[in-house]
Structure 1
Amino acid sequence: MNFYIDPAFYVFLALAVIPAAILGFTGHRIKYYGLAASLAFLLLLFGENAEGMLAFLVFLAVACAATFWVLSSWKRGEKSLWKYRCALVAVIAPLVIYKIGAVFDHNLMGFLGISYITFKAVQVIIEIRDGLIDHMDFADYLYFLVFFTPFTSGPIDRSRRFTEDANRVYSKQEYADLLARGIMLVLIGAVYQKVLGTVFFHYFTPAPAGDGSWWSELGEQVKDAYMYGFYLFFDFAGYSLMAMGASYCFGIKTPRNFRAPFLATDVREFWDRWHMTLSTWLRDFVFMRVVKSATRRKLFKDRLHTACAGYMANFMLMGAWHGLTVDYLVYGAYYGTLMGATDIYQKKSSFHKKHKKKRWYKALQWFITINLVMLGMAIFSGQLHTVIGGLFHG
């Protein structure tokens, strides 16, 4: 059973929310019921896919063992870096093996949700190392990893925020507000994904360059890029809203993932609005660490060059996270380059500094940004690859 796709999922979700609502309205903690419900939903997710279930259970066992091994080392004051590094490798290895296997059309250690659960497990280990987590109950950790509502499509939550919600007892009015908002978010998400996403996907018809005039061909490719961009937004934002809404019903305030991304006036602002939980995760655990390490080792002559290297590492990893294909890797390099170029332009250009608050300049920035974003969508979808292939083989 696919979450947020199969009609049966919504039936099971409605039934599962009833006991959660009873607990919420009567002033009881929902955590242990939520954990049991999550495990039941994951059984439905994997269904008869025994290989996927086995890979998931192996990952879960490795993540739990690695995390509490590192936590034990830090609590004893030993703070063993080799244990920390081994734990990270153990947790990341299944995802790397899966991504490499996918290149050769083999499913090695893969299961639905592996990307998101890996990021969550890595985050906990890093925060133990940073001293931000000095205690973690096993049930809280397990619940954080297996909580079903964002399991397959995000958003990516943070363990400390999640645990605080999971252990909270809401008043009757507080839970009523959460439940009402949750139901509303599920309904809005369904409209986004089932209606608006379907409409835009209908008009997305990618094809190699044909025999028409270059102007008509260009217009067709631009149209497809825009249609795919809007489709991807409504489809993904719809899933995210439904995941948020369902989590609210269980007392978990899963963070927002999108905030009007197509209103951004530069690519940095776009990534502050698009898939926000992924972009902030990468910022905190990749970009900032690359910059800190490069600064400490004096690898670059100034902060701006260091930041550009950080952007490239950050977005190349993001591209690889989506998949080890040419399209995704080029997509990562594209945004790594754009982010660096934007940073350089905004900090070095006197023209930008002089006009950045003027309306006409903001409008121009928006127009340029939306077209750069849609070009990125064309790369991500494989549309650009298809067009170039058609030109060479036409």
Structure 2
Amino acid sequence: MINLQPYSNPMYFVWLLVSLLPLMIGLYFGKRFVAYQTIISGIFLLLIFGGSKWQQGLALIGYIIFQFIVVDGYVRYKKRANQTWVFVGAVLLSILPLVIVKITPAVQVGRQSLVGFLGISYLTFKSVQMIMETRDGTIKKFDPIMFARFLLFFPTVSSGPIDRYRRFQHDYLKIPDRERYLEMLGKAVHYIFLGFLYKFILSYLFGTVMLPHIAHIAIMHRAAFFHTGISLALVGYMYTYSMYLFFDFAGYSLFAVAASYLMGIETPMNFNQPFKAHNIKDFWNRWHMTLSFWFRDFIFMRLTFFIMKHHLLKKRVRISQVTYLANFLIMGFWHGVTWYYIVYGLFHASAIITNDYWLAFKKKHRRLPHNRLTEGIAIFITFNVVCFSFLIFSGFLNTLWFQAH
């Protein structure tokens, strides 16, 4: 059986465009061929998780069944008694497969969990969101078929962006008019070409051509780095890896958004010129936005409300600091149970807390200059802080340490 990695080679796009053409014609004439879209989605999921990845395919099926039981069970029980412990239990059960996948390599070095598959994180975010918004009452009815469509929307399964159920449902049920759909097609074409530039040219240049050579030089001079704490090669690695990470991930996200637009679904964008951010908060409003906003809405805000409701802390500034630390610590653990992912999360929490102190200082001292020069300095500092965090995230410092010892 053919196995296709999503958006990884030109052949995938040939299959994608040929398969979506009937659906695109239908949308142009104001019709969504639901049965055809379901069949195509099934075929692409089979191509992604079939062949040599059949174990991931089985894990996906088991995961979907498990999440249906958890969400449906919570919805049914909520109708009888909306108790907090049941809600917490449902959320914990929903994230359990992801926790197993993240912990297994740390507990059993070199071994991957049998319940893992490509995109399990994104599906978990969607499932937890479903439970939380059902509890809030923003989702009034659990529609199993729509929930399946939401979870298994194949353009975003592997790489995101993380959509919201109600927004997805609205787009799925309301077919865009012809003028709007033509506009979406135009954007899709633009995103595909931009994605090709990012993923297959710039990402290849930084990640495949430049990064290994710079990494080799940094490793060769590791002794000098640990002796003096200075390494131009390491600085070069930091910037090169940061560029690679952005163009690779942003390229994938653009492809996913473009494919969604072709299918008449306006999946939200994931990046908005993040390296133009004026401060670290602004950065997280531009970088991996769907993840950032998910953590904001479903962890940061809820934890803030919990602390305030139970009067655990009095000062608002302390509440925000604690919730920032918790929010980014969880984000670090989500990436993986390794010291550099955890430090990466704590680093960003510390950067945001420091930024809050600076903003408070600026507010108190209004005579501080604010012009193009100071904005440029702010962007420069933010860019370098972010790139340093990506150096931590890359795990390359860990590699240097073990090479030196």
- Normalised TM-score (structure 2): 0.91
Deviation of residue 61 (structure 1)? 0.6
User: Are positions 1:203 and 2:210 aligned together?
Assistant: yes
Q: Structure 2 CA distance, aligned partners of 1:111 and 1:186?
A: 26
User: Are positions 1:278 and 2:285 aligned together?
Assistant: no
User: Are positions 1:168 and 2:174 aligned together?
Assistant: yes
Q: Structure 2 CA distance, aligned partners of 1:178 and 1:155?
A: 17
- 1:78 match: 81
Closer/same/farther in 2, CA of residues 64 and 179 from structure 1, 3 Å limit: same
Deviation of residue 85 (structure 1)? 2.5
- More displaced, 5-14 or 246-255? 5-14
Structure 2 counterpart of 1:97, which letter? I
**Could you tell me whether the CA contact under 8 Å between 1:30 and 1:251 is conserved in 2?**
no
Deviation of residue 372 (structure 1)? 0.7
User: Are positions 1:99 and 2:102 aligned together?
Assistant: yes
For the residue of structure 1 that corresponds to 2:87, the secondary structure is: helix
User: Are positions 1:127 and 2:106 aligned together?
Assistant: no
Indicate the RMSD between aligned Cα atoms, in angstroms: 2.0
Equivalent residue for 1:34, pick from 32, 37, 43: 37
Structure 1 counterpart of 2:149, which letter? Y
Equivalent residue for 1:142, pick from 138, 148, 165: 148
- 2:394 match: 381
- Identity over aligned pairs, percent: 36
Structure 2 counterpart of 1:107, which letter? Q
Closer/same/farther in 2, CA of residues 367 and 169 from structure 1, 3 Å limit: closer
- 1:327 match: 340
Q: Structure 2 CA distance, aligned partners of 1:239 and 1:177?
A: 21
Q: Structure 1 CA distance, aligned partners of 2:351 and 2:224?
A: 32
Q: Where in structure 2 are there 5+ consecutive unaligned residues?
A: none
Q: Structure 2 CA distance, aligned partners of 1:212 and 1:83?
A: 56
Deviation of residue 351 (structure 1)? 7.0
Q: Structure 2 CA distance, aligned partners of 1:355 and 1:349?
A: 7
For the residue of structure 2 that corresponds to 1:355, the secondary structure is: coil
**Could you tell me whether the CA contact under 8 Å between 2:362 and 2:368 is conserved in 1?**
no
- More displaced, 274-283 or 30-39? 30-39
Structure 2 counterpart of 1:106, which letter? R
- More displaced, 89-98 or 25-34? 25-34
| Corresponding pairs, count | 391
- 1:177 match: 183
Q: Structure 2 CA distance, aligned partners of 1:352 and 1:219?
A: 37
- 2:92 match: 89
Spell out the pairing of 1:263-274 with structure 2 (5 A cutoff): 263-274=276-287
- 2:122 match: 116
Deviation of residue 212 (structure 1)? 5.7
TM-superposition CA deviations, 1:165-208 (whole Å, max 9, x none): 01112223322222232122112111110001111122223233
**Could you tell me whether the CA contact under 8 Å between 1:117 and 1:145 is conserved in 2?**
yes
- 2:163 match: 157
User: Are positions 1:227 and 2:240 aligned together?
Assistant: yes
TM-superposition CA deviations, 1:281-316 (whole Å, max 9, x none): 000001111111112222223111110111111111
Q: Where in structure 1 are there 5+ consecutive unaligned residues?
A: none
